[in-house]
Amino acid sequence: MTKRRRTEHYTVNTRVKEIPGEFLVDNGILYCNFCDHSIDWMRKSTVDDHLNIITHKNKKRLFENKKHWQQQTIDTTLSSSESKKAIIHDLIEAFTITDIPLEKVNFLLVFFKT
């Protein structure tokens, strides 16, 4: 008696549902969210192999670390810009009152950067 293999009909969407958050589908093609290239979805082992390669793991880790970074808002950028302008203005005023040439500011750059 011959064993019959159970045939299940997998689709590209089935693979996406099996591992949520890793892939997306575009025109029937399975794309990795982190590596930006297509994956053969017909065999589960091919998909699993892709998930286990070092390149994929590194790109996923980088992506997840970037999610924790927060982008500055325009208000924050403008307010920090205004405070920098005020510091520069105060510095120039202090140097001119004490008759220190402004060229000397270049020697203090290391101090100001810290």
Strand partners, 26: 29
- Cα 3 to Cα 6, 8, 10, 43, 96: the distances in Å are 9, 15, 21, 21, 94
Instruction: Retrieve residue 74's tokens.
Output: 């325009």
What tokens appear for 81 in the block? Answer: 């810009």
Model pLDDT for residues 55-102, shown as the tens digit of each residue: 999 999 988 887 666 666 777 777 777 888 888 888 888 888 998 888
Digit-coded pLDDT (tens) for 3-29: 555 546 788 888 888 888 899 898 888
- Put simply, whether the predicted model's pTM sits higher than 0.75 gets the answer no
* Nearest CA-CA partner of 38 in 49, 51, 48, 25: 25
